[in-house]
Amino acid sequence: MRPVKQGGCVVAEDTVFSVLYDKFMFWAIIVGVFTFAWLYLAVLRYREGVEPDTTHIDHIEVGAFPVDRHNTRVEVFFYVLPTLIVVWLIMMALASNTAVWSIPDDEDAHNMTIIGKQWFWEYHYEDALTWEDDPASTGIDVDWNGDTVLVTATGTSAANFTVSIDGADLDPVSIDSTTGIGQDQDAALTFNPRLFATVEVTDADGALLHTWMHIPGMDPNGNMFSFSSALGEDMIIPCDEDIVFTMHSRPSDDSNPNYIGVQHSFWLPEWGVKEDLVPGIEGGTVMTVMADDPGTFPIRCAEYCGAQHSVMYGQVKVVAAEGTTCAVDTGVKKTPGNAPPAGGAY
Strand order in the sheet with 285-289: 225-228, 120-125, 110-117, 243-249, 285-289
pLDDT at residue 340 above 60? no
What span, in angstroms and rounded, lies between the C-alpha atoms of 310 and 316?
18
Structure confidence by residue, pLDDT tens digits, 127-184: 999 999 988 889 999 999 888 999 999 989 999 999 999 989 888 999 998 899 999 8
pLDDT at residue 323 above 50? yes
Q: Of 247, 238, 144, which Cα lies nearest the Cα of 195?
A: 144
Query: Is pLDDT larger for residue 50 or for residue 87?
Result: 87
101 band by pLDDT with thresholds 50, 70 and 90: low
In single-letter form, the type of residue at position 19 comes to V
In single-letter form, the type of residue at position 268 comes to L
Q: What is the secondary structure of 308-343 as a DSSP string?
A: TGGG-EEEEEEEPBTT--S-S--SSPPPTT----GG
Kindly state the percentage of the chain with pLDDT values over 70.
Answer: 81
Mean pLDDT over all residues of the chain?
A: 82
What span, in angstroms and rounded, lies between the C-alpha atoms of 129 and 236?
9
Q: Of 171, 168, 165, which Cα lies nearest the Cα of 194?
A: 165
pLDDT at residue 54 above 90? no
Helix 72-101 to helix 16-45 angle, to the nearest 10 degrees? 160
pLDDT at residue 35 above 80? yes
pLDDT at residue 30 above 70? yes
Residue 127 phi/psi, 5-degree rounding, is -115, 145
Strand order in the sheet with 313-319: 235-238, 313-319, 295-301, 264-268, 273-277
pLDDT at residue 266 above 50? yes
What span, in angstroms and rounded, lies between the C-alpha atoms of 74 and 72?
6
